[in-house]
Chain A
Amino acid sequence: MPETPVLTIAAESAFLPVAVSFVKKICQGYGFSQKETTVLVLAAEEIFVYLNKLNPGTMISISCRSKPYLMELTLEFTAENFNLRAFNLTSSVDVEDESSLEELGLLIAGRMVDSFSINQTGGKIHMSLMKYMGYKEAAATGYTPGPMVSRTIDHPDPLEIRMVAGMIHESESMADLPFFFKTPLMVADMHEAGDLAALILKDRQNTIAGGLFWKSLNRNTAEILGPYIYGQTGASQMGEELVEKCLETIGKENFTGVICRHYGHDLPEQYFETIGTLSGKKIFFRQLQEDTGTCAWLHPSIAADIADRYERLFLPRNIIAPADDVRPLTPYTVISSEVNRAADTVVMHPLVLGQDVLETVAAHCLLFQSDGYQTVLFTLDLGNSAHAGWIPALTENGFTTALLVPYGGKGDLLTLAYHHPNRGGK
């Protein structure tokens, strides 16, 4: 694989055309369309300009990485006062306020891309902005498999992936599927990129009756999508065979666990344990390794509740309470939000804990509520001591514990669900 091209340059006005040209040429070189190229070029430009105003001359490294279905723009720089607040979905610009106007570019950059992540360590900022390739809506295949004879489980080729993804797209509700199932071609591109693994059920006549997918969610956790099986009697046995084969494979990989949020009727539940419920649907999980124990940073307000969950899940954990007199040093809170319109769901992730955390969380909830989202979630990494500081603001805003994914982050990943006070929860 070729090395990712990197441009390291001073954030000076004179070099802005160089940075812009670099991103543009790389995107074009990788065959991205003009629309997606423009988005990433503008995002890079806005961040460069902001950084130039904030810390003229500071060095910025820009790199672009391409996959068949996305382009990722990465920016790394050191800036003590870089205001990430603009990346909040609730941010707006006050036209009367000059400093607010300066952040307009950042706000635009954050809204244009499909997803972003920010890591801040001291003054060093690592920003990753992703734009997915545009895909056309898939035409219906109308394919319904007949009964299989002498079935096998196989690794699919690109056409078979598209066929299975098409069957799933046509048979399941998009609310129950990850967004990329909207277009089978994107599923196939993710598979080609090595970001989505798959097994399919087929027979000697090349009848394809379904399959199962899995992907990495993070360093520790994989996600199984499926199994989905169509037109067969004895599908539950086939589902078991698919899951076994998948577990045999990922059991040897680096993951400590596998979660199953999207599945059909034929999921063999005996291979999993239930770790909670989201939107009325059971969430299944399975550890892939023996649990050697870890610690969980928990604010006392929810420690008893989580300890009770640990007990029910037989998870060995040392619960540690953070110091209660630590106030956030930064004035502004930053939250990244993952929006899935088809599933009516928003998942928020903590980026920067600021002094306005209570108000910022409230503003986000209000925004999502007014936009009609049915499920509003917030995730915290219990292995990250800094995340414990978010808990009072979340509980005060009406969040309660929904899901606990063992080792879903650095430590266990806690998902809290928002319950609107006037709606009586959901």
Chain B
Amino acid sequence: MNTFSVAHLVPDHIAAFEQYIPSRPDDELKKLYGCDRIFRLNNNENPLGPPPEARNVIKRFSPEKAAIYPSGDAFHLRSKLSRHFGKDPDQFIVGNGANELISFVIKAFCREGDNIITADKTFAVYEWVAQFSGFNARLIPLKEFGFDAAGMAAAIDERTKILFVCNPNNPTGTYWDIDTFREFMSAVNGKKIVVLDEAYCEFVEKEDYPDGMKLMEEYPNLVVFRTFSKMYGLAGLRIGYLAGSVEVVDVIRKTCVVYSVNAVAQDAAIKAIDDQDHVLKTRRLMAEARHYLGRELERLQLPHVIGETSYIMVKLPMSDSLAYRKLMRHGIMIRSMTGFRFPNYIRVSLSEMEMMEAFIKALTEIL
């Protein structure tokens, strides 16, 4: 038998790349860690689940439809989004979660030797996709836990194609206000694509928070990402979308993989987007959890960062990976933050009080 060695076929930028290892399913984790239940506070999922009408769509989804390809370009969902935001349907692209959209945008605009700019401590997928596509990711250190607008603008050169801004930032929860955003866009001066990732925008209640959907009318180089995974509780169906000027979106569409978004996800998203009551209920729940955790973490004298989102960050006097294992023994799953370049920090999803109290009880025990 011929022996086959794959190594010589692998490009250097792939060989050097760190693969992402997702956590195991709950049943496996329960066996491994010896706990009888797991409270998942690691992925910022909405504890209320999807809005009621979206639930009904999922329940009523006919098995026969599983044999039929979904709309390849999410026709009805784009129509719904266009009505919801008062835009042209061609200003939207729907993707299999925001991760896929990041890939579309980078593929559309970058070629060998180009770079993207983002922060060093933010949602890692911008950096990953750029790197495993062979492009340079320039990572600008956060300032006071927030994106450094001046630093990012200063890093731009002629090979910069895209600047990714996570607003509010994952994992710190900080956000750029409207003035900061405008200053940054002025510095970019319409020369580069700016992606404003608003995955958590529905959680923000502050008046000075910039609304990318409105601002894109002023800035044709602005692309906005949104998701149904967080506020709308459809993470398991994998669906998100981007919006921008028709001119820019037409270019991005060339790199899209059609049929990547399943039919039930499209149908559920159509019903989810209008449910303002769900948004308000979720915000109330988040506010209660945020207030409770803030108070308890003060009591425990643990430094923490509470932003405008559905999670908080806590600095521990121990290794975050050790804290992960210890908390798992108590059936609490958090996100350790070394991989986000925040050693000894954990990120905790805001959730129902039962889970928040269980987290604080377990945390108190392991400290």
Taking Cβ atoms with an 8 Å cutoff, the residues of A that contact B are 243-244, 247-248, 251-254, 270-273, 286-293, 313-318
CB pair A251 B23 closer than 8 Å: no
Please give, as numbers and ranges, the residues of chain A lying within 8 Å of B319 by CB-CB distance: 270-273, 286-287
B151 within 8 A of partner (CB): no
| Closest beta carbon of chain A to B133's beta carbon, Å | 17
Please give, as numbers and ranges, the residues of chain A lying within 8 Å of B71 by CB-CB distance: none
Contact of A289 among B16, B29, B321, B344 (CB under 8 A): B321
Summed over the interface, the residue pairs from A and B with CB atoms below 8 Å come to a total of 79
Contact of A286 among B32, B321, B326, B342 (CB under 8 A): B321
Residue of B with least CB distance to A250: B338
Please give, as numbers and ranges, the residues of chain B lying within 8 Å of A252 by CB-CB distance: 18, 339, 341
Residue of A with least CB distance to B339: A251
Residue of B with least CB distance to A1: B12
Q: List 10 A-B contacts (CB under 8 A).
A: A251-B338, A251-B341, A270-B344, A273-B318, A273-B322, A286-B319, A286-B322, A288-B339, A293-B28, A293-B32
Q: How far is the CA of A142 from the CA of B113 in the complex (A)?
A: 46
Contact of B317 among A253, A270, A287, A313 (CB under 8 A): A270
B24 within 8 A of partner (CB): yes
| Closest beta carbon of chain B to A156's beta carbon, Å | 19
B163 within 8 A of partner (CB): no
B21 within 8 A of partner (CB): yes
Residue of B with least CB distance to A293: B32
Please give, as numbers and ranges, the residues of chain A lying within 8 Å of B344 by CB-CB distance: 244, 270-271
Q: How far is the CA of A341 from the CA of B120 in the complex (A)?
A: 43
Residues of B284-324 whose CB lies within 8 A of A: 317-319, 321-322, 324
CB pair B21 A289 closer than 8 Å: yes
User: Given A291-B324, A292-B21, are A316 and B341 also a contact pair (CB < 8 Å)?
Assistant: no
Please give, as numbers and ranges, the residues of chain A lying within 8 Å of B120 by CB-CB distance: 248
CB pair B339 A291 closer than 8 Å: no
Contact of B338 among A273, A288, A318 (CB under 8 A): A288
| Closest beta carbon of chain B to A5's beta carbon, Å | 15
| Closest beta carbon of chain B to A406's beta carbon, Å | 9
| Closest beta carbon of chain A to B44's beta carbon, Å | 16
CB pair A270 B318 closer than 8 Å: yes
Residues of B8-56 whose CB lies within 8 A of A: 16, 18, 21, 23-24, 28-29, 32-34
Please give, as numbers and ranges, the residues of chain A lying within 8 Å of B329 by CB-CB distance: 314
Please give, as numbers and ranges, the residues of chain B lying within 8 Å of A293 by CB-CB distance: 24, 28-29, 32-33
Please give, as numbers and ranges, the residues of chain A lying within 8 Å of B326 by CB-CB distance: 314
Interface size class of B (residues with CB under 8 A): 20 to 34
CB pair A254 B18 closer than 8 Å: yes
- Please provide the 9 A-B residue pairs with the shortest distance between their CB atoms, ordered closest to farther: A316-B32, A287-B321, A247-B343, A314-B325, A293-B32, A251-B338, A248-B341, A254-B18, A286-B319
Please give, as numbers and ranges, the residues of chain B lying within 8 Å of A254 by CB-CB distance: 16, 18
Most buried by B among A270, A291, A313, A315: A291
Taking Cβ atoms with an 8 Å cutoff, the residues of B that contact A are 16, 18, 21, 23-24, 28-29, 32-34, 120, 317-319, 321-322, 324-326, 328-329, 335-336, 338-344
Please give, as numbers and ranges, the residues of chain A lying within 8 Å of B343 by CB-CB distance: 243-244, 247-248, 251, 271
Please give, as numbers and ranges, the residues of chain B lying within 8 Å of A253 by CB-CB distance: 18
Please give, as numbers and ranges, the residues of chain A lying within 8 Å of B16 by CB-CB distance: 254
Please give, as numbers and ranges, the residues of chain A lying within 8 Å of B335 by CB-CB distance: 290
Residue of B with least CB distance to A257: B321
Residue of B with least CB distance to A292: B24
Please give, as numbers and ranges, the residues of chain B lying within 8 Å of A251 by CB-CB distance: 338-341, 343
| Closest beta carbon of chain B to A72's beta carbon, Å | 17
Most buried by A among B324, B335, B341, B343: B343
Residue of A with least CB distance to B124: A252
Q: Can you name 19 extra interface pairs (CB under 8 A) apart from A247-B338, A270-B344, A273-B319? A: A243-B343, A244-B344, A251-B340, A271-B343, A288-B321, A288-B338, A289-B21, A289-B321, A289-B339, A290-B336, A291-B324, A292-B24, A292-B29, A293-B24, A293-B33, A315-B325, A316-B32, A316-B328, A317-B32
Please give, as numbers and ranges, the residues of chain B lying within 8 Å of A317 by CB-CB distance: 32
Please give, as numbers and ranges, the residues of chain B lying within 8 Å of A244 by CB-CB distance: 343-344
Please give, as numbers and ranges, the residues of chain B lying within 8 Å of A318 by CB-CB distance: 32
Q: How far is the CA of A288 from the CA of B319 in the complex (A)?
A: 9
CB pair B23 A292 closer than 8 Å: yes
Residue of B with least CB distance to A286: B319
Please give, as numbers and ranges, the residues of chain A lying within 8 Å of B33 by CB-CB distance: 293, 316
Please give, as numbers and ranges, the residues of chain A lying within 8 Å of B29 by CB-CB distance: 292-293, 316
Most buried by A among B24, B319, B340: B319
Residue of B with least CB distance to A247: B343
Please give, as numbers and ranges, the residues of chain B lying within 8 Å of A243 by CB-CB distance: 343
Q: How far is the CA of A286 from the CA of B323 in the complex (A)?
A: 11
Residue of B with least CB distance to A268: B344
| Closest beta carbon of chain A to B362's beta carbon, Å | 12
| Closest beta carbon of chain A to B154's beta carbon, Å | 19
Q: How far is the CA of A288 from the CA of B336 in the complex (A)?
A: 9
Q: How far is the CA of A286 from the CA of B336 in the complex (A)?
A: 12
Please give, as numbers and ranges, the residues of chain A lying within 8 Å of B342 by CB-CB distance: 248
Residue of A with least CB distance to B316: A270
Q: How far is the CA of A313 from the CA of B32 in the complex (A)?
A: 13
Please give, as numbers and ranges, the residues of chain A lying within 8 Å of B325 by CB-CB distance: 287, 291, 313-316
| Closest beta carbon of chain A to B15's beta carbon, Å | 10
Q: How far is the CA of A304 from the CA of B33 in the complex (A)?
A: 17
Please give, as numbers and ranges, the residues of chain A lying within 8 Å of B28 by CB-CB distance: 293
User: Given A247-B343, A316-B325, are A290 and B23 also a contact pair (CB < 8 Å)?
Assistant: yes
Please give, as numbers and ranges, the residues of chain B lying within 8 Å of A314 by CB-CB distance: 322, 325-326, 328-329
| Closest beta carbon of chain A to B41's beta carbon, Å | 13
Residue of A with least CB distance to B335: A290
Please give, as numbers and ranges, the residues of chain B lying within 8 Å of A313 by CB-CB distance: 325
| Closest beta carbon of chain A to B150's beta carbon, Å | 19
Please give, as numbers and ranges, the residues of chain B lying within 8 Å of A248 by CB-CB distance: 120, 341-343
CB pair B324 A290 closer than 8 Å: yes
Q: How far is the CA of A253 from the CA of B339 in the complex (A)?
A: 9
Contact of B322 among A247, A287, A289, A292 (CB under 8 A): A287
| Closest beta carbon of chain A to B128's beta carbon, Å | 10
| Closest beta carbon of chain A to B360's beta carbon, Å | 19
Residue of A with least CB distance to B336: A290
| Closest beta carbon of chain A to B136's beta carbon, Å | 15
| Closest beta carbon of chain A to B257's beta carbon, Å | 27
Q: How far is the CA of A244 from the CA of B338 in the complex (A)?
A: 10
Please give, as numbers and ranges, the residues of chain A lying within 8 Å of B318 by CB-CB distance: 270, 273
Residue of B with least CB distance to A318: B32
| Closest beta carbon of chain B to A251's beta carbon, Å | 4
CB pair B21 A291 closer than 8 Å: no
Q: How far is the CA of A316 from the CA of B341 in the complex (A)?
A: 24
Q: How far is the CA of A293 from the CA of B28 in the complex (A)?
A: 9
Most buried by A among B16, B32, B339: B32
Residue of A with least CB distance to B319: A286
| Closest beta carbon of chain A to B34's beta carbon, Å | 8
| Closest beta carbon of chain B to A383's beta carbon, Å | 15
